[in-house]
Structure 1
Amino acid sequence: MLVHADLHNSQNDPVWAISRDDGAIIPLDNTTFNPPPEVHVGAYLNLTGELLYDGIVRPTAYDRFVCSGFGICSWTDSWRKDPYSRDDYPSDPSTPTSPKATSPQRLLVMILNYSACGYPPGVNTSTVRSLFLGPNGDGTAGIALKYSQCSYGTFGIDALSFRAEVVAPSSCNTPANTLETCKWWNIANDADAAAKSLIGAATYNAFTHFAYVLPPGLQYLCPWPSMSLLPGQKIWLQTSSQGLNRWAAVMQMTLHNYGANVTQWRFHS
């Protein structure tokens, strides 16, 4: 699925990426890949390309899956937008590509522990649970309550399935300089691998959304308080007053996951 990374800054990082069905993120070379405005984020692409560096891919050919107004669905290499067609998911053309915020999230929060690289976590699982679910851990307060209040009760966080874990990715042991140059896609991919090793792939796959909490020491290397995929299932949060500790920032990043571009909105926290 074609996604856009909202970095909320002027970093010259790839802003287009592919989110694979297994959740892995493949960043696309932003010097050569620039789809026309008629092509929506959330389009499903069949892509081939050249692997450059740090996991970045330069696409050489790509088809997208579309369905016409008559219900005829196929892969096409045309980027022309038919006003009566829509981008769709290949295995189920009736399913829209952007998720709908009509049911509680099953959220896994990964607190990233880069102690081996000199960046220990700044919060523990109890603090994160309280921030998201409230002091009682039941979803009647905290960020979960804000979700419910802002959606008239149709959207929130499933308190029973919510989980927070401290994970230790292997990023600082790789040649990609993931931390020094803030490779946000490698941060997520490595954290996912560490989480699956910790809790098991089946348990990991039962979650619908994922949040990555960065250590305080990475605020200078990753110059954004928060970021997200539009659309998608992932958000990144700095351990700061403008990131994890600001419910409005978490809300904004989460709404991006559902395809809402709310950068111009203002929340009062």
Structure 2
Amino acid sequence: MPPAGGPNALEVDIRAKTFRGADGEDVRAIEAIAFSVAPASFATLIGPSGCGKTTTLRIILGLDREFSGSLKLPDSGGRVAAVFQEPRLLPWRTVDDNVRLVLSDEEADGDLDDLFEILGLAEMRSRYPAELSLGLARRVALARAFAIRPSLMVLDEPFVSLDEQTATRLRALLTNVWSARPTTAVMVTHNLREAVELSDRIIFLTERPARVRGVYEIDKPRAERDSRWREATLTSIAKRYSGIL
């Protein structure tokens, strides 16, 4: 199985992205979004609803190639994993089978015990999606993404609609599994507290057509990001970017 992560930074330079609106008129979604994500680091995109965050992720994933600009992945031949808002599990397959679906034939019988253990799924492997809460189903989606040891992971609001207690638990689990299997990661969220807890770099976008409003760097080790530090960081961000909270 290939090692996790890629040797290079993710380099995103979207100079323009336009799509056809429902009224037939062209809509300029992105004006200029350029940023980089260092190897094995975690970046988060935050901006107003409809500003182009998910469009940016689709471009990174190669699902939308109709844009002006350039994109350089951490590893040109590496694997890319995606975690969406919906877990997208096959209901007729067990948890274990859903995770292994993404593996090649050579990897299909590989040892995933550590991954299931970190995510608290060791006792759930024989269950089916209908037996899982939304929080557990999202853990399975995370396990499936990390199972392939990707060079890049893209997450689109993976904890949205969860109660705060469940979301907090999942963020801690994500941190644990990402620390054990580090990879370059880009996440979209509307939750600034979530971004502060998880990220090495937060990229703030403007309203549509989106531009980069600013970048906030975080060098504090995750294990030291206690509640006092988080509140102080949120205050600092609010002063730098008015209206962000």
Asked if TM exceeds 0.5, the reply is no
Tell me: higher relative CO, structure 1 or 2? Use CA pairs within 8 A at least 6 residues apart.
2
Give the TM-score, by structure 1 length: 0.27
The structure richer in helix per residue is 2
Give the TM-score, by structure 2 length: 0.29
